[in-house]
Amino acid sequence: MTVRIGICGAAGRMGKIIIEACRETRGVKVTAAIEHKDSPALGQDAGEVAGTGRLGVPIVDDIAGVSGTFDVLIDFTAASSLPDNVKKCRKAGKNMVIGTTGLAPEQKKIINAAARDVAIVFAPNMSIGVNLCFKLLELAAGVIGAESDIEIIEAHHREKKDAPSGTSLRMGEVIAQTLGRDLRKCAIYGRRGVTGARDRKTIGFETIRAGDIVGEHTVMFATGGERVEISHKASSRKTFATGAIRAAQWIAGRRKGLYDMQDVLGLK
Ligand SMILES: NC(=O)c1ccc[n+]([C@@H]2O[C@H](COP(=O)([O-])OP(=O)(O)OC[C@H]3O[C@@H](n4cnc5c(N)ncnc54)[C@H](OP(=O)(O)O)[C@@H]3O)[C@@H](O)[C@H]2O)c1
């Protein structure tokens, strides 16, 4: 069965790579491409915008108008646009793969509510390697987390709009949950001035934004005599696109519910 894919944010960095990756993947076909109403890409062919040759799919500005043409919508847009996109898919009964990050709690609630009617994979990082790291972090936190100083350092390209990255926050959540802590209370975002000695129960976040770094995350568990580091480095955005397409194939045909990449990869 061929899964028909709609891409929201089709002219964005990720949208274009997903179009390219879909063309290289058997069993999927891009049948709809959406951008916002002021996008200069409107009316253009999605394949040509992605630099992969003509696809025969024009970029439009309305999910509702093309909802009959796709099975799953992959959304890599912006936190401010996402709630509206989710509501439209819910109304049209369309399953979603959401890669958009930087969501506020109210925006996440809209995803939770929609998952009562449609099936959604929501993951701040679709890379298979990162999702393996989430599992490794759970293991490390369980073995040495309680007696370690835990720091999460992430680096991304200069255009990234949100900080710290959704992936680093998810890493923090995995560790906090394993240790029975509340990340909202124990997270420290950057340090400056006279900070005093470190509280062992905190989880530190450091952010780097520079050049064209695709995405790097390191979690450090440091004790008195040794240090364990779990690192992931993405060298191409294609890794996220491949994961998103795998998620779309997995979610197609499911009825409802909220899932993440751990579900898609069978890591739960
Ligand atoms: N989960 C993952 O694995 C993963 C991996 C990489 C990136 N991301 C996240 O995915 C999102 C997109 O990243 P990106 O690097 O592709 O950013 P980007 O290049 O800015 O692409 C986003 C695209 O969506 C468009 N857009 C904004 N609002 C829209 C709407 N309402 N309907 C349709 N299109 C809309 C933007 O248009 P304008 O530029 O004209 O505003 C832009 O073309 C970010 O939140 C990023 O952090 C997640």
Helix pair angle (166-179, 128-144), 10° resolution: 30
Write the pLDDT tens digit of every residue in 121-149.
Answer: 999 889 999 999 999 999 999 999 999 99
Looking at residue 37, what is its pLDDT?
A: 95
Looking at residue 268, what is its pLDDT?
A: 83
Tell me which of 108, 157, 160, 256 is the catalytic residue.
Answer: 160
Mutation choice for ligand 1 from 16, 36, 62, CB with most ligand atoms inside 8 A: 36
Pairing of the two strands 203-209 and 95-98: unpaired
Looking at residue 124, what is its pLDDT?
A: 87
- 217 catalytic residue (yes or no): no
- 160 catalytic residue (yes or no): yes
Residue nearest ligand 1's atom 30 by CA: 36
80 burial (CB, 10 Å; 0-12 / 13-18 / 19+) is: middle
Angle (CA) 131-135-136 rounded to 5° is 110
Mutation choice for ligand 1 from 70, 76, 87, 122, CB with most ligand atoms inside 8 A: 76
Asked whether 85 and 46 are in contact (CB, 8 A), the reply is no
Residue list, ligand 1 pocket, CB within 6 Å = 8-9, 11-15, 34-36, 39, 76-78, 81, 99-102, 123-126, 240
Which of ligand 1's atoms lies nearest the C-alpha of 80? 28
Q: What are the phi and psi torsion angles at 78 (to 5°)?
A: -145, 155
pTM confidence score: 0.88
d(CA 236, CA 148): 32
Angle (CA) 169-78-260 rounded to 5° is 50
Asked whether 8 and 253 are in contact (CB, 8 A), the reply is no
d(CA 254, CA 149): 41
- Name the stretches of the chain with pLDDT < 70: none
d(CA 167, CA 34): 25
Q: How far is the CA of 12 from the centre of ligand 1 (A)?
A: 6
Q: How far is the CA of 182 from the centre of ligand 1 (A)?
A: 29
The two three-digit tokens of residue 51, written as one number? 């630099």
